[in-house]
Amino acid sequence: MKFETDYIEKLAKIIADNDLTEISLEDGEQAITIRKDLPEVNMVAAPSTAAVATPAAAQVPSSSAAVEAKEPEIKGRAITSPMVGTFYAASSPEANPFVEVGSNVEVGDVVCIIEAMKLMNEIKSEQAGKIVQICVKNGDPVEYGQVLMYVE
């Protein structure tokens, strides 16, 4: 199956109409990711499970009305979600969270898991420091580029 232009345009419309930032689909060996252009954010590394092609024609222009929520100013660097998925603070419901406010982390420490397409992706810290705020709750859906926590 080849992703047809009409299908890609419908996916782009879904993103625009539902205030989403990204859609990723896989069909056998083919995969496609369509995302809005977002301002540059600090990203954390995540394991890749498949080669993803993002056709230039499928890019959705960003909307000035997209995300205008004012968040309180936080000191520190943001750890953001590298994908759309579900945030998990621990490896299982019975386990202790990877980090809590006040926890010290080193570069490469796992700080949470993002479940995407039934795959558990460990999110690792790119900086050492202390967790000063966790912005999402266990089980919350997260979007690409959404701030998960701050490290000071």
110: containing domain? 77-151
Q: What is the pTM of this model?
A: 0.52
Query: Are 48 and 83 in a shared domain?
Result: no
Number of separate domains in the chain: 2
Residue-level pLDDT at 71: 52
Residue-level pLDDT at 33: 75
Angle at CA 14, nearest 5°, toward 86 and 137?
20
Average pLDDT of adjacent 10-residue blocks, the chain of 152 residues: 71 74 70 66 45 45 45 75 94 93 94 93 93 94 94 93
Query: Are 11 and 43 in a shared domain?
Result: yes
Residue-level pLDDT at 102: 93
Q: Which residues, including other chains, have CB under 8 Å from residue 143's CB and lie 6 or more apart?
A: 20, 21, 22, 81, 84
Query: Are 89 and 117 in a shared domain?
Result: yes
| Cross-strand pairs, 132 | none
Residue-level pLDDT at 112: 96
